[in-house]
Structure 1
Amino acid sequence: MTTLEIGRPTAPAPTPTQPSAGRGAGVRWGAVGRPVLRVLRSAVVVWIPVVLLSTFITFGLGALTDTNPAAQVLGETATPADIDRMNHYFGLDRPFLVQYFSWLGHALTGDFGRSYYTTLPVSDSITQALPVNVSITIVALLLGILFGGALGVGAALSGGGWFDRGVTMLCSAASTVPPFVIGIGLIVLFSVTLPVLPSGGYVPIDQDFGQWLRFAILPALALSVDVAVAIARQLRTSLVGELRENYVVGAEVRGLTRRRVVFGHALRNASGPAVTVLGYYVPQVIGAMVVAEAVFNLPGLGKLSLDAAAKGDIPVIQGVLVTMIGLVVLSNLLVNAALLRLTPHAKRREQ
């Protein structure tokens, strides 16, 4: 009798179909899923106090204003009884903390109250304006990733050549120009000198995709310059370092093509700093949309908040600010997940 027969009975070997596939799926989930959940959980824990503090400040600024919304809405002929009735209707006669927690609870469900002037739900106005900001921001980020990635990879592969020096000078010059100046220059070039694109306006994407793209391309280009510059710089620096690593030299010695080594191995390992920078610039692009709306006459959240500020419509302003905070939090969570997925060493640290 062999030693194997004396010991603990062994399980039968798995068939090459279902059991081994299930084991492989478990390994893949353990290697990828659990680290992703850890990072997302830690990010949520960090962002919860940020959201609470920012929403508290947002609501507090509206509550600390000297103006009485009910008196403004009703006008000079309103009696004190009318003003008290309006304050009760909007819930302004309750203590501050009671107002805040009630407003926060409704805001987390998408209910930002009603406008003081139109009495329409604030969420309806935000729903109409939000697609403008989201769609153009996404296009701007995609353009920034595309151009910045191409310039960064090309500069790294050039390795001090004329293309590398040209990208360095271009990035240095472009980083000093504000987005609204770039936007005005794009209008002069493509709407006045070469009248091929409209200078302003907006068409919803679900109505006419071609027209939407014509209106969105100029503001997206203006907003994408800073993103492209930052990604090109970071990607060029990190990729140059990766190309000097031993595993790259060893892969080329074993006969792998330069293209496969760069795009199959080195680029993925070098993308971490660029993705981190992208997470830093996403809130900037969202904030810069306010200026882009003024330059390109876009009916987005910036225009909505400016119109509300001119009238003192506090619920609309609060709703816009909370929506902006939500976009920033969501974008950072997505960037953290993408960073973990792209960089294997980050997953190893989390295990």
Structure 2
Amino acid sequence: MTTLLSRPAPVAVAKPDPAPPKRRSRRWIGTLATPVVVFVFSSLLTFGLGALSPSNPAAAVLGETATPADIARMNHEFGLDRPLPVQYVDWLFSALRGDLGRSYFTTIPVADSIFAALPVDLALAGLAILLAVLIGGAAGIGAALRQGGRLDRTVTAVASALGTLPPFVLGIGLIIIFSVLLKALPAGGYVPLENGLGQWLRFAILPALALSLDIAASIARQLRTSLVGQLGENYVTGAVVRGLGTRRVLFGHALRNAIGPALTVLGIGVPMILGGAVVTEKIFNLPGLAQLALQASGQHDVPLIQGTLLVTVTVVLICNTLVNIAVLRLTPQGKR
């Protein structure tokens, strides 16, 4: 750390120029407007996948003995005999009010089924994101401060290896190590957070680790590269010359300018975490949204499929928007 932050050179502090007001306004408008556009497009695509499916929901519900009259009557009850634009608008506005329809097979409201499974995914994704930030952040900062040293080479090698392994491979490896060999953690199952933080963590830590390690590796690589560049800038040298403490220079100046790429990686990693949950939930036997979607796909339960897709897209958009806002607030180009 001393080799990177103590080069004595009488250089004035030169921080990045603030972005012009018009450019800042366009960034904020784009950050807030893009999720709305993506949501509308995603809802249209989600509805179209269900509406244009070759399978007939009414025939699937009634079975092979259904007559054409029975199928026509059921299609009318489902509202499938209306024009597609009318169906889409009605479905979208109902979804915005929290009404995602009812399952064709169980008649249970789709929203009830989704929000019974969603806490599992939110808790797991939240823990995975926290682990990715802590592990990746610590590794990236440590590697940058020991540039060219043993720690730097180790972090680079481990991050490169983890980046090639999908979550289900990591999950199986973690089960073998911590459940089979060490017998320290359960290999599957889930305990709600209401039953106690410690008990919940015992069941959630392995799947969360499996989902987080790939993202943590990407964060470590990006943060290490960006931070090394910032530590070599004149404003860091000037801050050291002025007598600012190492911790203040690192966290108050260099890290603020270097954190943008790592936050972008985190934003990209949210869909990867939710996508990897499909296989991870199966490996660890978790009753989450991914398993609900797989069950609905097997039954051709169109409302349930559409509802899970729409809720997943919404969660991803909210997380990405929060990350983009954090980038604008933390980096000088967006904050000023």
TM-score normalised per structure 2? 0.90
Aligned residue for 1:242?
230
Aligned residue for 1:346?
334
Q: 1:118 aligns with which of 97, 106, 109?
A: 106
| SS at 1:259 equivalent | helix
Deviation at 1:344, TM superposition (A): 1.7
Report which stretch shifted further, 54-63 or 114-123. Answer: 54-63
Verify: 1:179 aligned to 2:167, yes or no.
yes
1:207-244 residue CA offsets vs partner (Å, 9 max, x unmatched): 33222111110000011111111111111111111111
Aligned residue for 1:158?
146
Q: Which amino acid in structure 2 is aligned with residue 159 of structure 1?
A: Q
RMSD: 1.8
Q: 1:144 aligns with which of 122, 132, 141?
A: 132
Q: Which amino acid in structure 1 is aligned with residue 51 of structure 2?
A: A
State how far apart, in whole Å, the 1-side matches of 2:35 and 2:235 are. 38
State how far apart, in whole Å, the 2-side matches of 1:107 and 1:73 are. 23
Report which stretch shifted further, 124-133 or 62-71. Answer: 62-71
Verify: 1:283 aligned to 2:283, yes or no.
no
Q: 2:310 aligns with which of 313, 318, 322?
A: 322
Verify: 1:210 aligned to 2:198, yes or no.
yes
Q: Which amino acid in structure 1 is aligned with residue 276 of structure 2?
A: A
Verify: 1:54 aligned to 2:76, yes or no.
no
1:114 touches 1:120 (CA, 8 Å); kept in 2? yes
Q: Which amino acid in structure 2 is aligned with residue 191 of structure 1?
A: S
Q: How does 1:258-269 map to 2 (within 5 A)?
A: 258-269=246-257
Aligned residue for 1:92?
80
State how far apart, in whole Å, the 2-side matches of 1:238 and 1:74 are. 60
State how far apart, in whole Å, the 2-side matches of 1:69 and 1:38 are. 45
| SS at 2:131 equivalent | helix
1:112-165 residue CA offsets vs partner (Å, 9 max, x unmatched): 100000011000000011011111001001101001110111011002111111
State how far apart, in whole Å, the 1-side matches of 2:180 and 2:58 are. 47
State how far apart, in whole Å, the 1-side matches of 2:311 and 2:80 are. 22
1:83-110 residue CA offsets vs partner (Å, 9 max, x unmatched): 2222122111111111111111111222
1:40 touches 1:336 (CA, 8 Å); kept in 2? no
Distance 1:49 1:260, change over 3 A: closer
Deviation at 1:41, TM superposition (A): 3.4
Verify: 1:227 aligned to 2:200, yes or no.
no
State how far apart, in whole Å, the 2-side matches of 1:112 and 1:173 are. 42
Aligned residue for 2:13?
none
Larger-Rg structure: 1
Deviation at 1:346, TM superposition (A): 1.8
State how far apart, in whole Å, the 2-side matches of 1:114 and 1:37 are. 42
Aligned residue for 2:16?
none
TM-score normalised per structure 1? 0.86
State how far apart, in whole Å, the 1-side matches of 2:287 and 2:26 are. 39
2:101 touches 2:110 (CA, 8 Å); kept in 1? yes
Q: How does 1:7-156 map to 2 (within 5 A)?
A: 39-156=27-144
Distance 1:89 1:214, change over 3 A: same
2:267 touches 2:320 (CA, 8 Å); kept in 1? yes
| SS at 1:206 equivalent | helix
| SS at 1:76 equivalent | coil
Q: How does 1:191-202 map to 2 (within 5 A)?
A: 191-202=179-190
Unmatched 5+ residue regions in structure 1?
1-30
